[in-house]
Structure 1
Amino acid sequence: MVPIQDVVSWNTIIAAVAKSERPGKALELFLDMCISGILPSQATFVSVINSCTSLGISMYGEFIHAKTIRNSFESDVYVGSALVDFYAKCDKLEAAHFCFDEIYEKNVVSWNALILGYSTKCSSTSIYLLQEMLRLGYRPNEFSFSAVIRSSLALELRQLHGLIIRMGYLNNEYVSSYLVTSYAKNGLLSDALIFVTASNNPLPVVSSNIIAGIYNRSGQYNETLKLLSLLEEPDIVSWNIVLAACARNNYQKEAFELFKHMHMVHICPDNYTFVTLLSVCAKLCNLALGSSVHGLMIKTDFNRCDTFVCNVLIDMYGKCGSVESSVKIFNKMTNRNLITWTALISVLGLNGYAHEALGRFREMELLGFKPDRIALIAVLTACKHGGLVKEGMELFERMRRSYGVEPEMDQYHCVVDLLANYGHSREAEKIIASMPFPPDAIVWRSFLAGCMRQGTTKDQPVGHENLDQHNRYISLGD
């Protein structure tokens, strides 16, 4: 190999390696360069500091920082900006601010690096830095505004919005997308929706997706379709929002027609696409359709499917009555979470495998998963369907003591239903009387139905405080 004799050649090689998938190699080359007696230049340090940023190892960056001081480059705007960026991304904002102050002639890149560092920590300092930047005569660009917007609160957002309009950045896709996102994040939905009516130009794809998502979550199906139909080139997020809107509004046929159209225009489905389709199949209890979607997922690349998708698969197969398929998916999963276990317990319970559901619940506990409110409803429901009165009551009594979960209406309903349906109407009545809030109609109906099934509605006493309400439901039953 011909030895490298000049700094320009070293810089070219180091810069190329720093941008590659092996940024650590740039550090090795830098050390080789120093050993060979070639003095590093400004460009050398910028590339090496950027490689340290990619590695995310603060010790390496601090070593290079010391080298910049020794070579009198710490006040250079390009080297200093790279150092600010490095320390900010290593979560060392004091060091980043120190390097920023050392820069003799700052530029917008220096300011943006520091602003982004504080913004990532949701610090109000980013707003102060923007104000200081303007006061000293620097002109913020789209990256300045987008960084500040990320950490801004409601009042600050409106002020920033005005500044963005005055400085001509409102139609910038990058800025407008962040602005809409921040309005939505701060709960200012009306302000976010103003973009739709106030803009004379078609909204960028990202902004349109954000607004469409707001419409979809608030049940405005037609507005969702209307907004996204204006896009010339909708992305996969746009398609997924429309699919989700169809599913939310029970337009199952339209959802699959839309999916076919996606395939025709060569839009590759992602995990969110499949989650929506599987949810539709679960609602329809259509095993054949659900299996077809699963087959397409395998054909597309099942390795891309994460834990969330697999959880939905377990739920879909369970609701379609294929418990064996649910268990098979569960057993193949390597990254199970509490939702995974809850889904399987629910599937087993709803399909008549109460003992198996209870066994899985105990296995889940042994593995260190602490049941939450949803998991407890799933296992109590399994006990209810399987008539496991003793086990169900033990779990109910442990809710507060062992799991720190305060029973709510759903849990009380499960227990009352369990007791009343299996000949324990007196105990069910005691549970109702002990509730810290008034029982709803579902609790009373379950109690009444259980009593009627056991033939005890006429002769079982009912607590005086609940007599009127109980009699009302008795009369409804009669």
Structure 2
Amino acid sequence: MQGQSLWRRCMFLAHQCANMEQLKAVHALFTTSGLHRNIYAISKIVSFCATSPSGDVGYATLLFSRLASPNPFIYNTIIKGMAMRRDPYGAIFFFKLMCRDLGADHYALSFVLGAFSEPSTAVYGRQMHTHIVKGGYLLHDVYIQISILRMYCDCLCMVDARKLFDEMPQRDVVLWSVVLSGHVRGGDCAAALQMFQEMQVSGVQPDEFTVATMIASCARCGALQQGRWIHEYVINKNPMNLDVVMNTALVDMYAKCGCIEEAVRVFEHMEERNVLSWTAMIGGFAVHGLANYALHCFHRMERSGIVPDDITILALLSACNHAGLGQMGFKIFNSMQTNYGISPKHEHYGCMVDLLCRAGCLYEALDLINSMPMKPLASVWGSLLSASRSHGNIGLAEHAVAALLDLEPEGDGFYVQLSNVYANAQRLGDAARARKKIGNVGIKKTPGCSLIEVEGMVAEFVAGDESHPLSREIYEALDLLYHDLANDSFHSCYLSHYGASWHQ
């Protein structure tokens, strides 16, 4: 009886652990009571160390190394912990050990696939896919199929993802959602919207997660018409519960697509709001230059009891930046730690540097850059370079370019901007030498890119690209426009046809 009581007490304490200090104390109790020899008991210790946010996967591997015969649960827990911490090499190592000692089960396969979540790990993901197919796992396990599909999407290997998706005999809403979200993460909003239309044709009804993903895609590429259609779809054609997640996505979409009034309308009708909802609305006001509305929304948020996070503060600083409210911006920036317990991140410093640059306070901006607790990235030095060009400050422009080239040796626009600074100051020799360096280091200008929504479809155009199916007609129309502009006949022609509509 006494042994059972000790067992229950130890297990209870193991479940109550909140940090490694408490865990190690429980582990010591296990050792003194002899429970460290019990594989079930030690698995609880390993599970906390490997998978808890406050755990220590290194401690878990140390415990693992002292086990004579680890069971499948412990192997899977270690592999899962490695995957959660984005350690593909550790996950592969323990996966190979498990294959050697016990043979892999579908849990181990799904966990190790989850470790490949960055484009740099795609090669290992493909190797694992090959291993799974050769082992016959893929033929009968839908869960493994989803894991492989998600792996390709996480690694932004959308060609592989789409090929695997098209080969699947049964494609439910989960599979469609995985590929759709992969397109959105990769920035290919046009492909996501096209695939969503294919999903409609196939007869698969989207769920709330899929709809929220597509609304986010519309926000990212500015597809207002598609976003409106999806909003109408979830209200009338396929009624869904407009929960806080979907409503927040709608607020963000309307704001980013230029319809701030519609964003406000959705926001004010929300029955529930969280920190993301308030942040989306504040950010919407910010991008529209409505700083006072953003500040008012922030005060409403505080009165509602919602605590802001670092993204909320960044949206608020952005509002002050766009409106030139330097004093208010620095008041918020300086109170982040005191009032909200939020340490400024690089993005916050970058926003304040940009605010100073817009105000012409270039040396104050340089002082702030030099005081940053982290290494300034290209975005910060880029703000200083642009402001130095606008104000003709050659010394700071040269300093900013040197810092930028240290970060990005093949940066395509730094020498161009520096050359323009020299040219504006009539230092034509320096301007020519700056331009010459572009060819010497093999820098090639990154072509410009733009998106436009036409009749519900989003088209992407890249400077100099001729891949669009109507590229010949587009370039012919451009040549005609250039010709008409050169002859000054375009203006009268355009006004005679469309001028009256401006007043309707």
Q: Same fold (TM over 0.5)?
A: yes
Deviation at 1:147, TM superposition (A): 1.7
Cα deviation digits, residues 310-349 of structure 1 (max 9, x gap): 2221232344455554233122024223332233345556
Deviation at 1:196, TM superposition (A): 0.9
Q: Secondary structure of 2:66's match?
A: helix
Aligned to 2:179: 148
Aligned to 1:192: 227
Q: What is the letter of the counterpart of residue 344 of structure 1?
A: L
Aligned to 2:426: 389
Deviation at 1:197, TM superposition (A): 0.8
Q: Is the CA contact 2:218–2:227 (under 8 Å) kept in the aligned structure 1?
A: yes
Identity %: 16
Note the 1:123-134 alignment, pairs <5 A: 123-130=158-165, 133-134=168-169
Q: What is the letter of the counterpart of residue 376 of structure 2?
A: R
- Distance in 1, Cα, partners of 2:61 & 2:247: 43
Q: Tell whether 2:48 aligns with 1:16.
A: yes
- Distance in 2, Cα, partners of 1:87 & 1:320: 45
- Distance in 1, Cα, partners of 2:194 & 2:330: 50
- Distance in 1, Cα, partners of 2:300 & 2:113: 48
Aligned to 1:456: none
- Distance in 2, Cα, partners of 1:307 & 1:54: 25
Note the 1:299-378 alignment, pairs <5 A: 299-300=338-339, 304-320=343-359, 322-323=361-362, 325-333=364-372, 334-347=374-387, 354=393, 356-358=395-397, 360-361=399-400, 363-364=402-403, 367=406, 373=413, 377=417
TM-score of the pair, normalised by structure 2: 0.64
Q: What is the letter of the counterpart of residue 31 of structure 1?
A: S
Q: CA RMSD in A?
A: 4.1
Q: Tell whether 2:84 aligns with 1:50.
A: no
Change (3 A) 1:381 1:202: farther
Q: What is the letter of the counterpart of residue 42 of structure 1?
A: P
Change (3 A) 1:379 1:338: farther
Deviation at 1:257, TM superposition (A): 1.5
Larger Rg: 1
Change (3 A) 1:70 1:264: same
Q: Is the CA contact 2:419–2:431 (under 8 Å) kept in the aligned structure 1?
A: no
- Distance in 2, Cα, partners of 1:61 & 1:127: 26
Q: Tell whether 2:142 aligns with 1:111.
A: no
Cα deviation digits, residues 105-164 of structure 1 (max 9, x gap): 9444322212211222333444454565544xxx8564x443222345354332234557
Deviation at 1:270, TM superposition (A): 4.0
Change (3 A) 1:232 1:367: same
Q: Secondary structure of 1:389's match?
A: coil
Aligned to 1:95: 128
Deviation at 1:58, TM superposition (A): 4.8
Change (3 A) 1:382 1:284: farther
- Distance in 2, Cα, partners of 1:401 & 1:146: 49
TM-score of the pair, normalised by structure 1: 0.67
Change (3 A) 1:263 1:240: same
Q: Is the CA contact 1:87–1:95 (under 8 Å) kept in the aligned structure 2?
A: no
- Distance in 2, Cα, partners of 1:198 & 1:69: 48
Gaps of 5+ in 2: 1-31, 184-190, 448-481, 487-504
Q: Tell whether 2:302 aligns with 1:263.
A: yes
Q: What is the letter of the counterpart of residue 33 of structure 1?
A: L
- Distance in 2, Cα, partners of 1:211 & 1:394: 53
Gaps of 5+ in 1: 409-437, 439-464, 466-478
Note the 1:19-30 alignment, pairs <5 A: 19-20=51-52, 21-30=55-64
Q: What is the letter of the counterpart of residue 129 of structure 2?
A: A
Change (3 A) 1:28 1:378: same
Q: Secondary structure of 1:268's match?
A: coil
- Distance in 1, Cα, partners of 2:213 & 2:304: 29
Q: Is the CA contact 1:150–1:178 (under 8 Å) kept in the aligned structure 2?
A: yes
- Distance in 2, Cα, partners of 1:69 & 1:124: 30
Note the 1:64-463 alignment, pairs <5 A: 64-74=94-104, 76-86=105-115, 91-99=124-132, 101-103=135-137, 106-121=140-155, 122-130=157-165, 133-135=168-170, 140=172, 142=174, 144-151=175-182, 153=191, 154-163=193-202, 165-166=204-205, 170=206, 172-182=207-217, 189-200=224-235, 201-300=240-339, 304-320=343-359, 322-323=361-362, 325-333=364-372, 334-347=374-387, 354=393, 356-358=395-397, 360-361=399-400, 363-364=402-403, 367=406, 373=413, 377=417, 380=420, 384=424, 388-390=425-427, 393-403=428-438
Cα deviation digits, residues 258-291 of structure 1 (max 9, x gap): 2221222233334444444444444554443333
Q: What is the letter of the counterpart of residue 146 of structure 1?
A: S
Structure with more contact order per residue of length (Cα contacts < 8 Å, sep ≥ 6): 2
Change (3 A) 1:111 1:284: closer
Q: Is the CA contact 2:286–2:322 (under 8 Å) kept in the aligned structure 1?
A: no
- Distance in 2, Cα, partners of 1:51 & 1:247: 40
